[in-house]
Structure 1
Amino acid sequence: MVSDSVAVPALTYTEHDWVVEHPEASRTVRQRENGPYRRPTVSSIAELALALPGSVAASVDESTQELSRFDVYATTRLGIGELAPMAAILLRTESASSSHIEQITAGARQIALAELGESTAENAALVVRNTHAMEAALRLADDLDEAAILQMHAELLADEPDWAGRYRDSLVWVGGSKYGPRSASHVGPSHEEIPSLIGDLVTFLRRTDLPPLVQAAVAHAQLETIHPFADGNGRTGRALVHAVLRHSGIVARATAPVSAGLLRDTESYFDALTQYRAGDAGPIIETFAAASRFAARSGLQLVDDLHEQVVASSAALDGIRSDAAAHRAVPLLVGQPVLTVRFLQDALQLPERAAFRAIETLVERGVLEDRSGRARGRVYQHPGILAVLDDYAAGLRRS
């Protein structure tokens, strides 16, 4: 192993026979896909000793410090007591990036519409469910047990009741053919082993002797290796990372866009998972350390860009009472840059007419625009905030 490797138990394999049962499989497919395949045995990590080389430890330490600085900056920059609007949009940005890794993409407007129940775009709805999974991860961060992991998955696949919050009951594999595991890049262990492997993972998560970023990276890789669910393993595993970072206090209130860092080089991310299964956790630890540094640095700029939009929107309301509903609505636009009268009513506890007048004022002052084209049930949006979010996502794709 090279000097920056971190030894972990490599997967061991046993050979099994596969017989295609897929009803659409042709004779040619059956001839190709029937036959032996290798199924892994996953080792315990509950008491795993992790020896970090100096270079890896230094990288982790730098990333941890940058994440902490980002958390403090994001919390103070907007000057919002509960940080709710900023927290919401950072969380949604992270959810969109995590979903994008799975080839699920949606623009900021469609995601915001989906949050209101106003979008018919399937991908936007998937991103929103991923956001709910991450919310569950953060909510349950202080008690990371088996039930918490299942709850994250249940939130993610809320529209799939047969799968949501339940372990798989059959073989799964990554890559290769849909007809069988023989050409897969990774095959999950037997489903009978999942409860004990997750129990082992939970014990690992409760350790206090590891740097949190190392613990998060290894826990993520272990969950991906176990592949306990029929679908949603990657997104659940990345939500788990944020639960570890929240529990540790490194990122106590904001959500750093770590998946955005992973999205910049998904090939290296997936390769690092392969190397973990081969017995080296160094690459996955460094992958998450690098992604965390990117998250912290790009997150600072994202916070500044969003803050500029808030300042400009407030300035556009010059001459209007500071306690007016229009002023009170401005911070909410960070977290929900597309809104309806009903949303503003509920958010600010306003009568319908007062909410409508506030939106009218925001439209008159150029803060909001009506792009719905409807006579009734209108939807209003903040073009500046949407542009900031879409520009951030486009920058990731260019990377």
Structure 2
Amino acid sequence: MSSYEPPLTVTPSMLALVAEISEHVGQLTAYREDSLTPQLRRGNRIRTIQASLAIENNTLSVEQVTALLEGKRVLGLPREIQEVRNAFSAYDAMPTWHPNRQTDLLTAHNLLMQGLIDDAGHFRRSGVGIYRGARLLHMAPPASRVSTLVQELLGWLGRSAWHPLIVSCVFHYEFEFIHPFADGNGRMGRLWQTLLLSHWRPVMAFLPVESVIREQQDAYYAALAAADQAAEATPFVEFMLGALLQALVEAVTTDQVTDQVTDQVSKLLTILPPGMALRSSELMQRLGLSHRPTFSKTYLKPALAAGLIEMTEPASPRSPTQRYRRVLG
């Protein structure tokens, strides 16, 4: 049995972040365990998938990803549409996987990359370097070492005594360092970290931390590079713990804001009878509002996020003929 231990310096900053994250997770679990409806789960999952793929240069918007999930036709590149469909399949299957089982890791990669690369579900068979422009950022270990390195990393997952938050971040970095697949390593690393976190606290399965990473994409890659230079995961772990904390704070804040605007959303639903589709200007007129930003922030967006209303043209959010209607059922 391998005794591999990823190099890491546990810093006071890490411990402080772990404590703060744990506190927020407790609050979120207590607040949302019974109120995390299928609509909220779906909304967070859509944001997760859209952001994770956007990091890999997929250009589809949240609205287009939502439309794909609903089986609607979306104008987009065939590869990008396939990436979204694959990602939904992978995240839907996530609860059936065990984090330290290699067969599950390969199955996940096959779902994520099916129809996109020839060797989906198989480790790479050649060397690979990560470039930005013409500059080499990272040369991954040789292909002949990949299987052994992955086995050692998964074995460490099963016996590590570190806090699950730290373990998930270390795994994410080590996985990207090994770069075990010909393509899809970034989205696989983020997916597997989510799987690890969900085994710690189920509510973490629907935390869209990928949205935070997408907003801080340069810092994400800089943290990976800093960890490479330091020859240990410490800089990347600190970055990822910070991203997790930010995602949790935003999740709690979103819930609090949603509570505060319940009356406004109720008013919006009252003036939008089932079966009727109205433009935003018509909705504002019925509500007696003239300030569009207020209407958007406190009426329209919360109702859309809660899945209570929907766009008639989700693939074209800014369409001049866009209307909104009640979601029935």
Output the TM-score relative to the length of structure 1. 0.62
Aligned twin of 2:91: 134
Counterpart of 1:165 in structure 2: which amino acid?
G
Aligned twin of 1:271: 222
Structure 2 distance, partners of 1:383, 1:90, is 21
Kindly indicate whether residue 13 of structure 2 is the aligned counterpart of residue 58 of structure 1.
Answer: no
Counterpart of 2:68 in structure 1: which amino acid?
A
Kindly indicate whether residue 213 of structure 2 is the aligned counterpart of residue 213 of structure 1.
Answer: no
Deviation at residue 67 of structure 1 after TM alignment: 3.2
Aligned twin of 1:28: none
Structure 2 distance, partners of 1:262, 1:45, is 32
Aligned twin of 1:145: 101
Aligned twin of 2:76: 121
Q: Which runs of 5+ in 1 are unaligned?
A: 1-43, 327-332, 338-361, 374-379, 386-399
Kindly indicate whether residue 50 of structure 2 is the aligned counterpart of residue 92 of structure 1.
Answer: no
Q: 3-state SS of the aligned residue for 1:167?
A: coil
Is residue 60–residue 213 contact of structure 1 (8 Å, CA) maintained in 2? Answer: yes
Is residue 188–residue 227 contact of structure 1 (8 Å, CA) maintained in 2? Answer: yes
Structure 1 distance, partners of 2:4, 2:325, is 49
* Cα distance change of structure 1 residues 310 and 175 upon mapping to structure 2, 3 Å threshold: farther
1:6-48 per-residue CA deviation (whole Å, 9 max, x = no partner) reads xxxxxxxxxxxxxxxxxxxxxxxxxxxxxxxxxxxxxx88334
Is residue 136–residue 151 contact of structure 1 (8 Å, CA) maintained in 2? Answer: no
Q: Which runs of 5+ in 2 are unaligned?
A: 277-302, 316-321
Aligned twin of 1:370: 312
Deviation at residue 317 of structure 1 after TM alignment: 6.1
Q: 3-state SS of the aligned residue for 2:203?
A: coil
Kindly indicate whether residue 176 of structure 2 is the aligned counterpart of residue 224 of structure 1.
Answer: yes
Is residue 71–residue 256 contact of structure 1 (8 Å, CA) maintained in 2? Answer: no
Within-5 A mapping of 1:248-397: 248-249=200-201, 251-252=202-203, 254-278=205-229, 279-304=231-256, 367-368=309-310, 370-371=312-313
Structure 2 distance, partners of 1:150, 1:368, is 37
Structure 1 distance, partners of 2:16, 2:224, is 21
Counterpart of 1:89 in structure 2: which amino acid?
G
Q: 3-state SS of the aligned residue for 1:174?
A: strand
- Structure 1 or 2, whichever has the larger Rg, is 1
Structure 2 distance, partners of 1:126, 1:227, is 19
Aligned twin of 2:27: 69
Structure 2 distance, partners of 1:218, 1:174, is 19
Counterpart of 2:206 in structure 1: which amino acid?
T
Is residue 74–residue 300 contact of structure 1 (8 Å, CA) maintained in 2? Answer: no
Structure 2 distance, partners of 1:381, 1:219, is 45
1:268-308 per-residue CA deviation (whole Å, 9 max, x = no partner) reads 22122122223232211110111011100112233456677
Output the TM-score relative to the length of structure 2. 0.74
**Residue-pair matches, total:** 288
